[in-house]
Chains A and B, each alone.
Chain A
């Protein structure tokens, strides 16, 4: 006898279809399931439901007791829907083959690991190859980023009293103007890639998203510091924007990550650490400490991705070197770091407008420039560049820092 289920007094207008649906899962297409129930009109509901689901149903009055028994013959429509369905990888990135080398456009927005019905619309994402974007550390870096988010309203003591000489406060306003402009570039570059990354590469998508959120927060705190003593943004130079525009124009994810994160944001970490140490007021120092921590994570992602890509494709190193050279060539006729920013750094490091303080500030800024180049060289060597090449490329990096 075929199996029988009793839906009791539960109608199909109240969820009884679930009992039948799960009952049918236990039998193959063509197999039979008997159903009995007691809710008024359940047999009419069952007939309507079976018709739509593609199952056959017939009713028989039982001999003893006169109970109505429905016999449902399972159709194959449900199975048919999943004919040629595709498994879109595995959800756990640790498993072998979890993320495909190439994500299919027909997987669309499906969760990685989902079973995707054939005939789903193609959704094209430009960055659909693992080798173009992947980093093994992305999931870990994302988790760290989530845990390290900070609230600008409470993480920084905006009310801590200080009063700088007007010329130094002006210098802070100029530096913040410069930092904001650079952080806008650091927001826009990953944001543009974010919408192009195939969602199959969930870890990369998430990390880019939180990186964008980091930069939004940085722009907020730099703006807030700039306005803290009633200043308005200062000067923005053509050369500075020309340098940043070369980052926005780079369409290759790896090259953009190399120029922006490994070289640019890496250099910024040095700058922010410098401000943490030498800024003349406690608010700027706190901001510098927190933003440097975020930027270091962005650098780590860039390094991790490039290490991965270079492992797959060692000859890509030449392309990276060429990119630095090309960017240098493109910017050769621009002023590089604007003089106002350079002077502002000296004044900030001086803290006072006296010859002795300025002398000390100047030395510190010179040391900063050396430290920045050294940091770039070390990162380049870690990416497998020969010492000489690393030294050369580190020196070619834009004078605008980012």
Chain B
């Protein structure tokens, strides 16, 4: 009996089960043996992939960086097989209330002494990249501004947007002066009415960066290169026009799968180093990180 391709994913919300059960069924329809294992956090998942427990991991960008570093140190090579169209060229935005004293977009010196809200400690989009953005403009937490963290579900690398939502609510309640969030959440919170129309302004925008990818590590996986190739092929063949497939794509938040690329992680790599989140070998440095 052929062993299935084993994929790891992080259970950041109950819908994750629905998603991967749906994918499993899709692969089954195409005679491709596929199964998944859910992890409670990305750190455990990366370690599992390195010890050969899983062939493939649906990784956050931060998990990708750690997997890549841990692979290199072992003389292995990590590959990004595929990603969502919506994983490319994201950016984070710094939002203030309309009456903020930060008047000119990009002029962040007015933030001095203010309280800025961030998402979970391990959130690339709402903590690491935003802190890096401010650092690169000469603003350091504790010295130039006060950072207030809205930490929810450590180890999920910010996939759970609860932290960003709580921070947005704190902004509107006047508890903090500014808040970082991923650009898409800014629109989502507007639709939810958390950020009333016209009540807020975007005053800064991070550089663009990529998000999740399917990570394979050559040399340790029992699954053949052929299986990874077939997996990617079937994934990329998922068509938005197909009514059977569309609900899965909607749940996972994409219109089309694209080939993986690793050119969009530079910003996060710099942030990981500057914020001392992982070291060059993928060891966790952040001391107050709970997962």
B240 lies within 8 A of chain A by Cβ: yes
A14 touches B190 (CB 8 A): yes
State the CA gap A12–B185 with chains docked (Å). 12
B244 and A119 form a contact (CB under 8 A): yes
Chain A contacts for B89, CB-based, 8 A? 47, 51
In the assembled complex, B235 has its CB within 8 A of some CB on chain A: no
CB contacts (< 8 Å) of A51 on chain B: these are 85-86, 88-90, 184
Q: A13-B187, A15-B197 are in contact. Are A40 and B203 (CB under 8 A)?
A: yes
In the complex, how many residues of chain A place their beta carbon closer than 8 angstroms to a beta carbon of chain B? Answer: 26
A49 within 8 A of partner (CB): yes
Taking A44-B205, A48-B183, A51-B90 as contacts, is the C-beta distance between A80 and B241 under 8 angstroms? yes
Residues of A with C-beta under 8 A to B1: none
CA distance A49 to B241 in the complex (A): 20
Docked complex Cα distance between A80 and B256 (Å)? 11
Residue of B nearest to A106 (CB): B243
Task: Kindly supply a per-residue 1/0 record for chain B positions 226-243, scoring 1 wherever the CB is within 8 Å of any chain A CB and 0 otherwise.
Answer: 000000000000011101
Q: State A119–B187 Cα separation when bound (angstroms).
A: 28
Q: How far is the CB of B41 from chain A (nearest CB, A)?
A: 26
Report the bound CA distance from A119 to B239 in whole Å.
13
- A54 near B85 with CB under 8 A, answer yes
Q: Roughly how many angstroms separate A13 CA and B187 CA in the complex, as a whole number?
A: 6
- Which parts of B236-263 form the interface with A (CB within 8 Å)? 239-241, 243-244, 246-247, 253, 255-256
A-B contacts, CB under 8 A, total: 81
The CA of A49 and the CA of B93, in the complex, are separated in Å by 14
Shortest distance between the CB of B163 and any CB in chain A (Å): 18
**Per-residue CB proximity of B86-120 to A under 8 Å, as 1/0?**
10111101000000000001000000000000000
Cα-based distance from A80 to B253 in the complex (angstroms): 15
Contacts of A14 in B (CB 8 A): 190, 197-198
**In this assembly, does B171 line the interface, its C-beta being within 8 Å of a C-beta of chain A?**
no
Question: How far does the Cβ of A2 sit from chain B's closest Cβ, in whole Å?
Answer: 21
> Is A66 part of the binding interface, using a Cβ–Cβ cutoff of 8 Å?
no
CB contact between A11 and one of B88, B198, B241 (< 8 Å): that residue: B198
Closest chain B CB from A174 CB (angstroms): 60
A74 to chain B, nearest CB (A): 12
Residues of B within 8 A of A1 (CB): none
A35–chain B nearest beta-carbon distance, Å: 15
B86 touches A52 (CB 8 A): yes
Interface string of A79-119 (1 = CB under 8 A from B): 01101100000000000000000000000000000000111
Question: Nearest Cβ distance between residue B181 and chain A, in whole angstroms?
Answer: 10
Partner of A48, one of B184, B201, B255: B184
CB nearest neighbor in A for B203 = A40
| A199 interface residue (CB < 8 Å to B) | no
State whether the Cβ of B141 lies closer than 8 Å to any Cβ in chain A. no
Nearest residue (CB) in A for B239 is A80
Cβ of A117: which chain B residues have Cβ within 8 Å of it?
A: 243
- CB of A273 closer than 8 Å to a CB of B: no
CB of B278 within 8 Å of the partner chain:
no
Q: Tell whether A77 is near chain B: CB-to-CB under 8 Å.
A: yes
B277 at the interface (CB under 8 A from A): no
Question: Is A48 in contact with B186, judged by CB distance below 8 angstroms?
Answer: yes
With a cutoff of 8 Å between Cβ atoms, the chain A residues found around residue B187 in the complex are 12-13, 17, 45, 48-49, 52
Whether, in the assembled complex, A75 has its beta carbon less than 8 Å from a beta carbon of chain B, the answer is yes
Interchain CA distance A52-B247 in the complex, whole Å: 15
State the Cβ distance, A30 to closest chain B Cβ, in Å: 14
B195 within 8 A of A: yes
Nearest A residue to B85 via CB reads A54
The answer to the question of A230 belonging to the interface, with a C-beta cut-off of 8 Å to chain B, is no
Nearest residue (CB) in A for B246 is: A119
Give the distance in Å from the alpha carbon of A14 to the alpha carbon of B197 in the complex.
Answer: 5
Task: Give every chain B residue within 8 A of A54 (Cβ-Cβ).
Answer: 85, 240, 255-256
A220 to chain B, nearest CB (A): 43
From B85, B190, B246, A13 is in contact (CB under 8 Å) with: B190
Residues of A within 8 A of B148 (CB): none
User: Does the CB pair A44–B240 fall under 8 Å?
Assistant: no
Closest to B92 in A: A44
Q: Are A77 and B240 in contact (CB under 8 A)?
A: yes
> B191 to chain A: closest CB distance in Å?
8
Q: Is B202 an interface residue (CB 8 A)?
A: yes
CA distance A84 to B85 in the complex (A): 23
Cα-based distance from A75 to B201 in the complex (angstroms) = 28
Within A258-313, which residues are at the interface with B (CB < 8 Å)?
none
Q: Knowing A13-B195, A48-B183, A48-B187 are in contact, say whether A41-B105 is a contact too (CB < 8 A).
A: yes
Whether A47 and B183, one on each chain, are in contact in the complex, defined by CB atoms closer than 8 angstroms, is: yes
A 2-44 contacts with B by CB, 8 A: 11-15, 17, 40-41, 43-44
A144 to B187: give the CA distance in the assembly, Å: 49
Whether a CB of chain A sits under 8 angstroms from the CB of B200 is yes
8 chain-A/chain-B pairs, Cβ below 8 angstroms? A12-B190, A14-B197, A40-B203, A44-B93, A48-B91, A51-B88, A80-B239, A118-B243
The 4 closest A-B pairs by CB, nearest first: A41-B202, A119-B243, A14-B197, A13-B190
Query: Chain A interface (Cβ within 8 Å of chain B)?
Result: 11-15, 17, 40-41, 43-45, 47-49, 51-52, 54, 75, 77, 80-81, 83-84, 117-119
| Other 19 A-B pairs with CB < 8 A, given A52-B184, A52-B253 | A13-B195, A13-B197, A14-B190, A14-B198, A43-B205, A44-B93, A45-B202, A47-B183, A48-B186, A51-B85, A51-B86, A51-B90, A75-B255, A77-B255, A81-B240, A83-B241, A84-B243, A118-B243, A119-B244
